[in-house]
Amino acid sequence: MGIRTALPAAELGIYSLVLSGALAFAARGLLEASQDGAHRKAFRESVRPGWEYIGRKMDVADFEWVMWFTSFRNVILFTLCGHVLFAKLCTMAAPQLRSWMYAVYGVLAVLGIMGPWYLLLLLGHCVGLYMVSLLGQPWLCLGLGLASLASFKMDPLISWQSGFVTGTFDLQEVLFQGGSGFTVLRCTSFALESCAQPGRRYSLADLLKYNFYLPFFFFGPVMTFDRFHEQVNQAEPVRPEGELWRIQVQAGLSVVTIVAVDIFFHFFYILTIPSDLKFANRLPDSALAGLAYSNLVYDWVKAAVLFGVVNTVARLDHLDPPQAPKCITALYVFGETHFDRGINDWLCKYVYDHIGGEHSAVIPELVASVATFAITTLWLGPCDIVYLWSALNCFGLNFELWVQKLAERRPLAQIEASLSEQMSRRVRALFGAMNFWAIVMYNLVSLNSLEFTELVARRLLLAGFPQTTLAILFVTYCGVQLVKERERSLALEEEPGQDKEKPE
C-alpha cells in the first residue's frame, strides 16, 4: 500500500523535537560517562593522550581508524595521490590506453608495497579462475571462486599462503587480507560474466586490468566486471556537467567527516566504554541506548569515509563506483542493511537475485538468503560470532517477508484497508521502530561483543520494561516517521508528472 499523503507540519515538528531532545539527552549522559571514565584503569589501553591543552584524551580503541591515519596515510594515500597524477597524464596523452596505464601503475604499486611473491600468488589465483572461465560453466566458476576465498579465510591454507609475503611492513596483514579477498571476488565476477556472454570472450589482460585497478585493489569497493569493463574502455570519456563540482563536494565532505570523528573521539568514548561492562552497566538507560546506536552510526561513518575517499579517486578516472552505504539512521528494513554496497551488489547479482528471483516467494527467498549469508560468513571469516551474526540477520531478512505475506492475507489486509492512510502509516512506522532495534541488536553482536549486546538487551527490554522500552520505542517511532516522510518527498521529486498531495 503506497502512502503518498504528507504528514501535517505540526506532527513533523513534534517528531523532530522529540528525536532531537532524546539524542541530546543521550549525548549528555555519554559525555558525562566519558569524563568520569577517562582515568579508569580499564581505559588506559584505549584512551590515549589527545588534546592536552584542553585536558581531553582520545578514544583510540578502533584499530582500523588509527591505522588509516598513521600507516595508511603514509603509504596508501601516497600511492593514491600518485595514481591520480599518473591517471591525469595518461588521460591527456593517450586516453585510449588509460585502462592499460591503470593496470601497470597498480601492478607496480602492489609490487612495491607487498613484494614479488605476493604479486605472483595473486596472479596464480587470477590465472586459475581465468582458465576455468574458458569452460563456460558458471557453477564451476563460482565453486572455484569460493574455494579460493576459503583458502584466504581458513587455516591451514591461509597460513601457508601468507608465508609467501616476507617482511615486517606495518600494514602487511591488513593489505594481504584485503588485496587477496577482493582479488578473488573480482576474478569470480570476471569468470561469471564470461560465462554469461559466451559470444564475447574476454582475455586474461582484461582480467588483470580489472583486478589491479589500484583505488579498488586493497579496500574495495567491488565493481562487477561488466560495469568496470564498459566504463574503463570508453575511448573518449566525457565528464557530465557538474561532475567536477560533485567530486569536490564529496572530497570536502570526507575531510569534514574525518575532522568531526576526531573531535567526537575526544569527547565521547563510545568504543572504549562497552569494553568495561561494569562501567557500562552503571550508565543511565538513555545513555546506554545512545551508546548502542552510536556504535552502529560510527561503523557506517567509517565505511562512508573509506569509500568516499576511494570513490572520489575513481570518479576522477571517469568511473561510476558503487555508492556509499545508506546511513544506519535511515534503516528500518533488513533488506537495505549493508555497510559495503559493492559486496552487496556482488552478492545480489550472482547469488541472492539469481536464486530468489523477485523475492516474493517464501521458500526461494529462504534458500537465497541462506546461500547469501553463507558466502558472507566465508567472506568475514568463519567463527562463532560471525555464525551468530549471519543467523540473526538471515532470520530478520526472512521474517520481514513472512510478516509481509501475513499482512497481505485476510483478515489483516482488510483491517489495514479500513484504516486511513495516516493511521496505516503510523502502524507501519511502529513495526519499523521495532525492526530498527532488531537491526541494532543483531549488528551489535559483530560490531562490539555478544556480552555488550546481552547487557543492552537486558537493560532496555527486561529491566527497563515498560518505561524505558516504551520511551525508546516512541523515540525510534518518531525517527521512522521522519525517514518515511523524507522518502515520500524524494519519491515525489523523482515523479515530476505526479501531482503532489497537500498535507491533511
Question: For residue range 199-243, what is the model confidence (pLDDT) as tens digits?
Answer: 788 999 999 999 999 999 998 899 999 999 999 988 777 788 888
- 280 and 396 assigned to the same domain: yes
- Between these two residues, 42 and 296, which has the higher pLDDT value? 296
Least confident of 27-41, 347-361, 407-421, 484-498: 484-498
Task: Please check whether residue 245 lies inside any domain of the structure.
Answer: no
Report the C-alpha gap between 277 and 458 in whole angstroms.
13
Q: Which residue has the cell 591517471?
A: 87
Q: What is the mean pLDDT of residues 31-37?
A: 90
What local confidence, expressed as pLDDT, does residue 487 receive? Answer: 82
What is the Cα 135 distance to its own chain's centre?
34
Is pLDDT above 50 for 271? yes
Task: Please check whether residue 56 lies inside any domain of the structure.
Answer: no
pLDDT in tens, 285-343: 999 999 999 999 998 898 888 888 899 999 999 899 988 777 777 788 887 777 788 89
**Residue 4: pLDDT band by 50, 70, 90 thresholds?**
low
Q: In whole numbers, what is the pLDDT of the chain averaged over residues?
A: 87
Among residues 272, 269, 266, the alpha carbon closest in space to that of 56 is found at 266
Contact 217, 106 (CB under 8 A): yes
Q: What percent of the chain has pLDDT over 70?
A: 96
- 346 and 476 assigned to the same domain: yes
Sign of CA pseudo-dihedral 211, 217, 223, 224: positive
Task: Please check whether residue 367 lies inside any domain of the structure.
Answer: yes
Report the C-alpha gap between 311 and 390 in whole angstroms.
28
Q: What is the mean pLDDT of residues 357-366?
A: 88
Domains held by the chain: number = 2
Is pLDDT above 90 for 456? yes
Q: Which residue has the cell 568495561?
A: 276
Backbone angles phi, psi at 57, to 5 degrees: -90, 165
- Between these two residues, 353 and 92, which has the higher pLDDT value? 353
Task: Please check whether residue 214 lies inside any domain of the structure.
Answer: yes
- Between these two residues, 504 and 138, which has the higher pLDDT value? 138
pLDDT in tens, 47-92: 888 887 777 889 999 888 888 877 777 777 788 888 988 888 887 7
- 34 and 93 assigned to the same domain: no
Residue 202, helix vs strand vs coil: coil
Q: What is the mean pLDDT of residues 493-500?
A: 56
Task: Please check whether residue 433 lies inside any domain of the structure.
Answer: yes
Task: Please check whether residue 276 lies inside any domain of the structure.
Answer: yes
Sign of CA pseudo-dihedral 451, 455, 456, 461: positive
- 212 and 160 assigned to the same domain: yes
**Residue 499: pLDDT band by 50, 70, 90 thresholds?**
very low
Is pLDDT above 90 for 490? no
Tell me how crowded residue 172 is: count the other CB atoms within 10 A of its CB. Answer: 18
Question: Which residue among 176, 197, 232 closes a domain?
Answer: 232
Long-range CB contact pairs, 106-112, < 8 A, 24+: 106/212, 106/213, 106/214, 106/217, 107/208, 107/212, 109/79, 109/82, 109/83, 109/214, 110/179, 110/212, 110/214, 110/217
- 416 and 284 assigned to the same domain: yes
What is the identity of the amino acid at 120? L
Report the C-alpha gap between 181 and 482 in whole angstroms.
38
Task: Please check whether residue 473 lies inside any domain of the structure.
Answer: yes
Q: What percent of the chain has pLDDT over 90?
A: 50
Which domain does 149 fall in, by range?
65-232
- 360 and 469 assigned to the same domain: yes
Q: What is the mean pLDDT of residues 186-209?
A: 92
What local confidence, expressed as pLDDT, does residue 47 receive? Answer: 86
Question: Which residue among 232, 263, 281 closes a domain?
Answer: 232
What local confidence, expressed as pLDDT, does residue 78 receive? Answer: 82
Task: Please check whether residue 502 lies inside any domain of the structure.
Answer: no
- 46 and 69 assigned to the same domain: no
Least confident of 135-144, 240-249, 318-327, 490-499: 490-499
- 393 and 454 assigned to the same domain: yes
Report the C-alpha gap between 309 and 260 in whole angstroms.
16
Q: What is the mean pLDDT of residues 130-159?
A: 93
**Residue 3: pLDDT band by 50, 70, 90 thresholds?**
very low
What the block records as the C-alpha cell of 12 is 513533523
Report the C-alpha gap between 290 and 288 in whole angstroms.
5
Among residues 152, 129, 155, 128, the alpha carbon closest in space to that of 142 is found at 129
Is pLDDT above 60 for 501? no
- 446 and 468 assigned to the same domain: yes
Contacts of 358 (CB under 8 A, 6+ apart): none
- 486 and 360 assigned to the same domain: yes
Is pLDDT above 90 for 500? no
- 194 and 268 assigned to the same domain: no
- 169 and 202 assigned to the same domain: yes
Question: Which residue among 232, 259, 292 closes a domain?
Answer: 232
Is pLDDT above 60 for 1? no
- Between these two residues, 234 and 170, which has the higher pLDDT value? 234
Q: What is the mean pLDDT of residues 11-16?
A: 90
What local confidence, expressed as pLDDT, does residue 5 receive? Answer: 61
- Between these two residues, 93 and 218, which has the higher pLDDT value? 218
